[in-house]
Amino acid sequence: MRIVIIDDSGLRATVLEEGLRDAGYDDIHIVPPRGAFVARLERMAPDVVLMDLGSPSRDTLEEMLTVSRALARPIAMFVDQSDDAMIGAAIDAGVSAYVVDGLRKERVKPVLELAVRRFNAFAKMQADLDEARTALSDRKIIDRAKSILMNQRALSEQDAYALLRSAAMNQGKKIVDVAQALITASDLLGGGI
Amino acid sequence: MTIGLRIAFLPLTDAAVLAVAHDRGFAEAEGLSLELVRTTSWATLRDRLVYGQVQAAHMLAPLAVAVTLGLSQQPAALAAPYKLNVNGNMLVMATAFAAALAPDRISRLADPLGTAHDFAAAIGLWKRKPVIGVVHRFSSHAIMLRYWLASAGVDPDRDVVLRVLPPSLTVEAMRAGEIDGFIAGEPWGSAAVDAGLAEAVAIGERIWRRGVEKILAFRQDWLDDNPDIVDRLLRALQRSAAWCDDPANREELAQLLSGPRYVDQPIEVIERALAGRIVARLDDAPVDSPDFMLFGREATSFPWRSQALWIYSQLVRWGMVAHTADTAARAGAVFRPDVFRRALADSQVPMPGASMKLEGAVDLPLAVGSRRGELTLGPDRFFDGRIFDPERIDEFLAGFSPPR
């Protein structure tokens, strides 16, 4: 079974490809949706095409599937329209799948399930990464606010943090927001460091 | 208690009525909390609607007909009780191609019939079959382009290459020479003009003076099961549309749409489309086209059944669907004037008495029968003077040569 992954994000495609290879599929190709990708895809004569639901190039792909005379058999979306749960999971995960006509659904379903799991795993990875980045930048902001307090009010680091924390609690805000406000105020007053 | 409602849209100027209903509190005043889901392709917008991730969508009118007739992946009966705008499209071609057309840009835009014939001649002079970008097979843009080209004897399936690509990629594709021009909703044509890559060749409003564009689409069963929510939404949109049409709000509207949540393009370009000030070529003075895009005035939002049938007639004409009485009836039923009437029964909106009309028959603003208030229909001529009688589709189709 020849599977083509159309994807711009190198990382997500790799994550998906790895999963498919581990599951024993070996005829896998990654095509970025740029330039003449449709002509390339036609030559490849895929059985299954997997594509990110968020890709703006889906309309281009579907047009090709509609008008192509090069494809021996028509390719249509999803495999089993009766399997609402599967389709729902795919859409939630952001996967669209086009499957060649006549391919048995038992053969396609595992591919789609795997794609859904990998897409979800990738989304979680990205969310974790974003969270880590946010945490890091939050810490930098708090550190800067602390050092402003330490310099201006001759506090120890521990006391500076305690002051920020109690101010945040009193105002019902997050520490990082109070710290940011302090930095902004300090910058405006020319006392920035 | 507020009712949550998810609506998918594409980042285009004509999503304005939805954006304003959300951001200016019109939806909230009706007890609705809208979540507008920004989507980057029509295929994904369609899937989100058909598979229930959203309850409604900002959709190309022909796509709603096509999905209902089973022409675009999973068939689903869709229903459109509300038109989000009319007009707003522009055809731009590479400056080198446009050099073969009338050099006076103002008369070029004002005379689509003459320009179509010039265009036909220019095809033979071009280095290849011109590749023209359209946003979707089932877009108002593609249908209007086909109609316009065919008027000058150009077969859109043989003499040019229509390539589907998303509006957001059109300017890049022009730059890379992958396409020689494209027709899309604003601000994309203007963006290509501003980049010095293209010139305006035709504007939708001159091809069909009141061309159906985006509609608000629901799944038909959901629409029928939730009349109260639908009515609230339509009332909110009607107020929003009046707000969008008011020139006093134009700057604010352009500002809102230009943000990253919506169109994410420069304010100045969006404001030009809203004001109908079309710059046909880089550094040209703008051409005034006051009806470039309409949201609510002249009962724009009213979903005339005859308009769904006109769209259907064009799908038949180009061999996309076979004409039968039953198919025509299903296509016509996509537009739901009955729901529009019900939702806005207690409002001040002038309400047309009929659900169908002759399309293309109004030359000058015309006062028509309305259940209350004054309703004036704007001119709705097609540039070739044809009139579409929804009761006589066969005759209308036979009038095109060569018939397909």
Q: Give the gap in angstroms from C-alpha B171 to the nearest C-alpha of chain A.
A: 13
Give the pLDDT confidence score for residue A191 in this predicted structure: 60
Consecutive H or E run containing A150: helix A105-153
Mean local confidence (pLDDT), B292-304? 93
User: For chain B, what is the HEC assignment?
Assistant: CCEEEEEEECCCHHHHHHHHHHHCCHHHHCCEEEEEEECCCHHHHHHHHHCCCCCEEEEEHHHHHHHHCCCCCCCCCEEEEEECCEECEEEEEEHHHHCCCCCCHHHHHHCHHHHHHHHHHHHHHCCCCCEEEECCCCCHHHHHHHHHHHHCCCCCCCCCEEEECCHHHHHHHHHCCCCCEEEEECCHHHHHHHCCCEEEEEEHHHHECCCECEEEEEEHHHHHHCHHHHHHHHHHHHHHHHHHHCHHHHHHHHHHHHCCCCCCCCHHHHHHHHHCEECCCCCCCCEECCCCEECCHHHCCCCCHHHHHHHHHHHHHCCCCCCCHHHHHHHHCCECHHHHHHHCCCCCCCCECCCCCCECCCCCCEEECECCCCEEECCCCECCCCCECCCCHHHHHHCCCCCC
Supply the pLDDT for residue A88.
86
Residues of chain A found within 8 Å of residue B73, distances taken between Cβ atoms:
62, 76-77
- Structure confidence at residue A39 (pLDDT): 86
Q: Which residues of B332-356 are buried (b: 16+ CB within 10 A; e: fewer)?
A: bbbbbbebbbebbeeeebbbbeebb
Q: Give the model confidence (pLDDT) of B40-53 as tens digits.
A: 999 999 999 999 99
Give A-chain residues touching B166 at CB under 8 angstroms.
56-57, 59-60
Residue B385 CA, chain-centre distance (Å), reads: 20
Do A35 and B176 make contact, defined as CB atoms within 8 angstroms?
yes
Nearest Cα to Cα of residue B101 among B126, B70, B76: B126
Amino acid, res. B363: D
Of residues B372 and A64, more confidence is placed in A64
B155 or A72, which is more confident? B155
Tokens of A96: 């669209």
Spell out the residues 6+ positions from residue A104 whose beta carbon is closer than 8 angstroms to its own: none
Q: Given CB atoms, is A85 within the 8 Å cutoff of chain B? A: no
Contacts (Cβ under 8 Å, ≥6 apart) of B111: B102
Question: B221 to each of A48, B79, B217, how far by Cα in Å?
Answer: 32, 9, 12
Judge whether A58 is closer than 8 Å to chain B, CB to CB: yes
Q: Give residue A85's pLDDT.
A: 83
Of B53, B73, B166, the CB nearest to A77: B73
Closest residue in A to B164 (Cα–Cα):
A60
pLDDT of residue A104: 80
**Would you call A53 and B47 a contact, using CB atoms and an 8 Å cutoff?**
yes
Question: What distance in Å separates the CA atoms of residue A92 and residue A86, rounded to the nearest whole number?
Answer: 10
Q: What is the average pLDDT across B137-141?
A: 96
How does residue A130 score in pLDDT terms, banded at 50, 70 and 90? confident
Nearest by Cα to A41 from A8, A13, A67, A5: A5
> What value does the mean pLDDT take over residues A106-128?
88
Using a 10 angstrom Cβ sphere, with 0-12 exposed, 13-18 middle and 19 or more buried, the burial of residue B28 is: middle
Does B51 contact A58 at a Cβ distance shorter than 8 Å?
no
Note whether B43 contacts A35, CB cutoff 8 Å. no
DSSP structure class, residue A47:
S
Query: What is the rounded average pLDDT of the residues B300-310?
Result: 97
Identify all chain B residues contacting A58, using CB atoms and an 8 Å cutoff: 41, 43-44
Residue B194 structure tokens: 């501003």
Interchain CB distance below 8 Å, A56 and B53: no
Name the residue of chain A whose CA is nearest to B42's CA.
A59
Q: Do B164 and A59 touch (CB under 8 A)?
A: yes
Tokens of B265: 């393009």
Q: Is 60 exceeded by the pLDDT of residue B96?
A: yes
Interface of A with B in 20-39 (CB under 8 A): 35-36
Under the phi-then-psi rule, with left for phi > 0, alpha for psi from -120 to 50, and beta for the rest, what region is A182? alpha
Mean pLDDT confidence for B98-111 = 94
* B133 interfaces chain A, CB cutoff of 8 Å: no
Residue of A59, A65, A86 best to disrupt the B interface, most CBs of B under 10 A: A59
- Residue B41 touches chain A, beta carbons under 8 Å: yes
Average pLDDT of chain B, as a whole number: 94
Buried/exposed B191-212: b ≥16 CB within 10 Å, e otherwise: bbbbeebbbbbbbbbbbbbbbb
Whether residues A56 and B52 touch (CB distance < 8 A) is answered with no
Chain A residue closest in CA terms to B37 = A54
Q: What is the pLDDT of residue B193?
A: 96
Lowest-confidence range among A18-32, A124-138, B94-108, B211-225? Answer: A124-138
pLDDT tens-digit map of B322-351: 999 999 999 999 999 999 999 999 888 888
Tell me the pLDDT tens digit for each residue of B213-240: 999 999 999 999 999 999 999 999 999 9
> Are B210 and B359 within 8 A, CB to CB?
no
Which residues of B are less than 8 Å from A62 in CB distance? 43, 72-73, 164
CA distance between the termini of chain B = 55
Percent of chain B past pLDDT 70, that is, above it, reads 99
Does the beta carbon of B136 lie under 8 angstroms from any beta carbon of chain A? yes
Using the structure block, give the residue that is written with the tokens 């537009």: B335
Local structure of residue A36 (DSSP, 8 states) = T
Q: How many Cβ atoms are within 10 Å of B278's Cβ, its own excluded?
A: 24
pTM beyond 0.90: no
Q: What is the mean pLDDT of chain A?
A: 88
Minimum-distance CB partner of A77 among B74, B136, B164: B74
pLDDT at A10: 79
Inter-chain CB pairs, A–B, below 8 Å: 60
Interchain contact B47–A (C-beta under 8 A): yes
Q: How far apart are CA B293 and CA B84, in angstroms?
A: 10
* CB contacts, 8 Å: A61 with chain B: 43
pLDDT, tens digit, for every residue of B353-404?
Answer: 899 999 999 888 888 777 666 788 889 999 999 999 999 999 999 999 764 4
Strand partners, B65: none
Q: Give residue-wise pLDDT tens across range B54-88.
A: 999 999 999 999 999 999 998 999 999 999 999 99
